[in-house]
Chains A and B, each alone.
Chain A
Amino acid sequence: MTDYVSTTPGLFPLPDWAKEDLSDLKGHQKGDLIDGDEDAEIATAYDEAREEVVGVQQEAGLDRVSEGQLRWDDMLAHPLAVHDAVDTQGIVRYYDNNNFYRDPVVQGELDFSGDVAGELEAAAEFVDGDDLQAVLPGPYSLSDLATDDHYGDEAEFLAAIADFLAGEVDAFPEVETLFLLEPSLVESAPEDGLDERASEAIDRVASATDADVVVQPYWGALEEKVYAHLLDADIDAVGFDFVAERDDNVYNLQEYGATDDVSLGLADGQNTLVEEPEAIRDRVDWVYEQIPVTDFETVYLTTNTETFYLPYAKFEEKLAALAEAAEIAEVKAA
């Protein structure tokens, strides 16, 4: 029987009070953003905000609870932006969105940081290990978002990022699931050769944990070769953004099959229109109708993208809709 698991790819909006307090405490300029050693007052504000978003997820009834990545001022570039060997430079556009992050320029060896592990330790105070979900940028996206001033070779840089992320994962407390977000696999699809290395890099990170690993590309479907290579990695689930693209995702599933588990991005992480839980459930049925596979072991129901794009109240409503959709799906499947 399929297990329906409601979750998100993390990177939540800050609660509105925290938006205000933290912008007062930190400021508005490039140099004011998170660098990894914020003072006690700022750290306390983040601790309170983290506890709040954990509570929101638990109250909504989500099956996986994320730490929220509220400190990630630079979105998916965060793990590098706080690294000692990285200089954060100009403000650059975050994919095709009206959002910006600081260009992380890698200037030295990417050794262990422990920044993300620290956040998860803090969240673990409020969440059981079998509910807790870790979130990281996938190695391909992180290398795509960064600028290399040290390794000098694309393949070497990607491998170094993968090693770095694997080291970070190794330091995590016990988590049930690890989401690796890989929008760059869609947005700047790797060419021949690089597609295989991207898969190997993902495999390297996934191998560092016993948790279930979900690789979530978004803003479209993977090119078929990229998808085929990704299936070679030792991961538990691939994610599909059915909000942005249906046909090509269905094609990949039909032609190449899937992992035993699958993650379905069925709620729009970038639109305030809140889906009805029944509508989300219907979309699950629709996906099943398109593909030959009769059963997945686990189906993650999630927004297609991060949710920091949304106003806070709409974000809360999206979580509730996902949680309820998973419950309906469960009942129906039984």
Chain B
Amino acid sequence: MTNENKDQFRPDEHENDSFLLTTVVGSYPKPKWLNRAKELYQDPDHGFDEEDYQEAKDDAARLITDEHERAGLDVVVDGEMRRNEMVEFFAHRIEGYEFNGPVKVWGHNYFDKPSVVSEVEYADSWLVDEYEFTASATDRPVKVPITGPYTLANWSFNEAYDDDEELTYDLADLVNEEIEKLVDAGARYIQIDEPALATTPDDHAIVGEALERIVAEIPEEVRIGLHVCYGDYSRIYPEILEFPVDEFDLELANGDYDQLDVFKDPEFTKDLALGVTDVHVGEVESVEQIERNIEKGLEVVPPEQLVVSPDCGVKLLPREVAYGKMANMVEAARNVEAKLDAGELDRGAPATADD
């Protein structure tokens, strides 16, 4: 069995017959000096100007892309060095949004929850510069994470639309426009992040319809993933199998795979990007531990459909811990591939045609 869509990211020099694509969800801890550079840039009394700050962000993007390469990841990201927060970043670039100040998430953790005050419109490109820069900084394939329209709608105040569904669909059209531009620029791997789906699982049909709009007229070889985390998956499975995506990227290590069985029946017909390291634990899991986690994935899909990734963005971890998790994850994936090649492992769930 082959999986053309996934195999396009297989490195030429890949050492094993089996290929468990290794990647990340997106965010990575920012170097401390980048935060310092931002403070200087925001300080009106300081001469550190926009050009200086841009250079700092470029340097950070190069650095983290290289760090992902050193960890051995097959598909890399720039660690979202240019992004502040997953909703704010996009809301700043979409017409129709305004900001009124920080709101509480929990304790003293706040975010600048934006308000949609008029019809949302596409202005300048959101991510093409980011993609082109990262792609030029590495020979590896680059994945582009984009916050999904349902989350962009749900985590905003809606002043302008009759309901969030209508707003979600308008935003989906804008995401579609952005993906077209990214594909024109060469991007082949797009990940839609919809964490809000976990808070309101009954809305999975809205997310499905939004995805139909997102992928409209996007070439089939472009890999589209959907990242969902920290929810009760039994409330969205198997319905999500109908979504027009190639891959589901799921957080499962945090709950020690207590929800794994959800995905065994009915059969998982998409690719599974399995969370194999817990981003809320400050210790680096051992290679052996991560191997066992990866093997959990083989209970759900055959190796051809398995992708290996952390549970979620790793930006809240100390940087050396984040790196340790990436490096051990890659080593574990290669070990599992070797075991598969040697016939030491059950190839897991029966292979299915990947539509």
Contact = CB atoms under 8 A, between A and B. Distances in A.
- Do the two shown chains form a genuine complex with each other? yes
Given A96-B200, A271-B158, A311 B113 contact: yes
A188 interface: no
Contacts of A19: 102, 104, 108, 110
A96 B103 CA distance: 16
A30 interface: yes
Q: Give the interface residue-count category, chain A.
A: 20 to 34
Contact of A308 (B104, B155, B158): B104
Interface stretch (A98-106, A136-144, A241-249, A258-266): A98-106
B99 to A, nearest CB: 8
Nearest to A29: B107
- Is chain A's interface secondary structure helix, strand, loop, or mixed overall? loop
A93 interface: yes
B107 A73 contact: yes
A22 B108 contact: yes
A273 B113 contact: no
Contact of A16 (B101, B105, B158, B199): B101
Given A93-B199, A98-B199, A272-B115, A13 B108 contact: no
Contacts of B136: none
A314 B106 contact: no
A99 B105 contact: yes
A308 to B, nearest CB: 6
Nearest to B115: A272
Contacts of A91: 106
Interface in B119-170: 154-155, 157-159
Contact of A310 (B103, B106, B109, B200): B103
A98 B108 contact: no
A332 interface: no
A44 interface: no
Nearest to A21: B108
Nearest to A33: B107
A210 B105 CA distance: 36
A27 B158 CA distance: 31
Interface string A300-314: 000000001111111
A107 interface: no
Nearest to B106: A100
B157 A27 contact: no
A229 interface: no
Nearest to A268: B157
Contacts of A16: 101-102
Contacts of B245: none
Interface string A186-210: 0000000000000000000000000
Contacts of A309: 103-104
Contacts of A29: 107
Nearest to A14: B104
Nearest to B196: A98
Nearest to A93: B199
Contact of B100 (A97, A101, A311): A311
A23 interface: yes
Nearest to B200: A96
A275 to B, nearest CB: 11
Most chain-A CB neighbours within 10 Å: which of B101, B106, B200? B106
A100 B105 contact: yes
Given A93-B199, A98-B196, A271-B159, A313 B104 contact: no
B157 A98 contact: no
B104 A99 contact: yes
A111 B294 CA distance: 49
Contact of B107 (A32, A308, A311, A313): A32
13 contacts: A16-B101, A73-B106, A73-B108, A91-B106, A93-B199, A98-B154, A99-B105, A99-B106, A100-B105, A271-B158, A308-B103, A308-B104, A311-B102
Interface of A: 13-14, 16, 19, 22-23, 26-30, 32-33, 73, 91, 93-94, 96-101, 270-273, 308-314
Given A14-B104, A98-B196, A271-B159, 15 more contacts: A13-B103, A16-B102, A19-B108, A28-B109, A73-B108, A93-B199, A98-B199, A99-B104, A100-B105, A272-B157, A273-B115, A273-B159, A308-B103, A308-B104, A311-B113
